[in-house]
Amino acid sequence: MLELDSVTVRYGDHAALDAVSVAVADGERLSVLGPSGAGKSTLLRAVSGLEPLAGGSIRWRGRDLAGVPVHARGVGLMFQDYVLFPHRDVAGNVAFGLRMRGDRPAAQRARVTEVLEMVGLRGYEPRRVTSLSGGEQQRVALARALAPEPELLMLDEPLGALDRALRGRLLDELSELFARLALTIIYVTHDRDEALALGDRVAVMRDGRIEALARPDELWRNPPSEWVARFLGLGGIVAASIDEQGRASGVLGEIQLPPPLPPVGDVRLLIRPDALRLDEHGDHRATVVRRAFRGDDVLLRVALAGSDAPLEVKVDGPAPALGDEVRLSIDPRRVVVLPHN
């Protein structure tokens, strides 16, 4: 188990990590999601020992890592844009960690062949890393990190620099590989779909703190704050106030929320696309302001009459045109109450 206890890292006055506590179980995959500058990379650097801690502690399998130098920690770190050694060929890059721990040349070669095969680069040993495509470099970096068989593998935006189609394919491959190797993994990304697809749990970071930490489905269903809901792009958010009977009133008129009774007072309501339906008898009038055909369905962005908060609704089959007036009905069971912050 990897345990971070109030870990703080400072750059000057700025706290890049602000008392972060999280525990990752053996074999667990933790996705770390957040906007740039949230402290995601700093988290990985702190665990690998590249950033000194200003406070807190990091324990790996019960042992405090303070005072253990970077090279002795035995963690695998795959850097953002890979940081391959430009003066070494593919084999030289992949074998580096093996050489550093003193493996015999024959053992190094065997392991290099094995990991290159694992990442789908059989026979790439003598290639220059500068001549590789982005996707190939990514695989070499992964092979280099995996070669010394680390028990904890950390990846910093491993797919960030690649184009969309390649990303989708590599995401599947990574997912398969991780499942096969049963490693403990920390996966840093700014891409929501990657984080949700790869993580057993997802930590959402903001300004050096962990803002949310939950399983992907939980996070999706019940985001803990308005900021997280917005960052995940879950849907439209409108203001409302709730009375003792659980009625929410606001720009959406009055909605009776289902039990359990939500807290009384001013809140935000998250109206996800699945809570809305085009309905010619619906209570709410809106105008279509954007219309995006997405293959399986059409995503409409609509502006409610008397409100500037846009909502999103999915339509299968024929969809209204841009500028059309539509009527909507809301499924109260799917409305999420967010704490107002």
Contacting other proteins (CB under 8 A), which of 27, 55, 74, 310? Answer: 74
User: Strand 298-304 relative to strand 265-271: parallel, antiparallel, unpaired?
Assistant: unpaired
CA angle 283, 286, 287 (to 5 degrees): 160
Q: Identify which of 70, 71, 39, 24 has the alpha carbon closest to the alpha carbon of residue 183.
A: 24
Query: In this structure, what token pair is assigned to residue 13?
Result: 């006055």
Is 77 a binder of other proteins (CB under 8 A)?
yes
Cα dihedral 255, 259, 262, 265, rounded to 10, equals 40
Give me the residues paired with residue 277 across strands.
329
Q: How far is the CB of 314 from other proteins (least distance, A)?
A: 41
Number of residues that bind other proteins (CB under 8 A): 24
Residue type, 159: L
Furthest CA-CA distance within the chain: 76
Is 60 a binder of other proteins (CB under 8 A)?
no
Contacting other proteins (CB under 8 A), which of 12, 62, 67, 72? Answer: 72
Residues sharing a CB contact under 8 Å with residue 155, sequence separation 6 or more, in sequence order = 77, 78, 142, 145, 185, 186, 187, 188
For the segment 136-165, give every residue that binds other proteins (CB under 8 A).
144-145, 148
Of 46-54, 253-261, 295-303, 332-340, the window that binds other proteins (rule: CB under 8 A) is: 46-54
Is 309 a binder of other proteins (CB under 8 A)?
no
Is 107 a binder of other proteins (CB under 8 A)?
no
Of 29-37, 42-50, 114-122, 325-333, the window that binds other proteins (rule: CB under 8 A) is: 42-50
Of 66-74, 159-167, 271-279, 308-316, the window that binds other proteins (rule: CB under 8 A) is: 66-74
Is 79 a binder of other proteins (CB under 8 A)?
yes
Is 236 a binder of other proteins (CB under 8 A)?
no
DSSP-derived secondary structure for 42-54: HHHHHHHTSS--S
Q: How far is the CB of 31 from other proteins (least distance, A)?
A: 20
What span, in angstroms and rounded, lies between the C-alpha atoms of 92 and 72?
21
Is 267 a binder of other proteins (CB under 8 A)?
no
Is 39 a binder of other proteins (CB under 8 A)?
no
Positions in the binding site for other proteins (CB under 8 A): 48-50, 69-77, 79, 83, 85-87, 96-97, 100-101, 144-145, 148
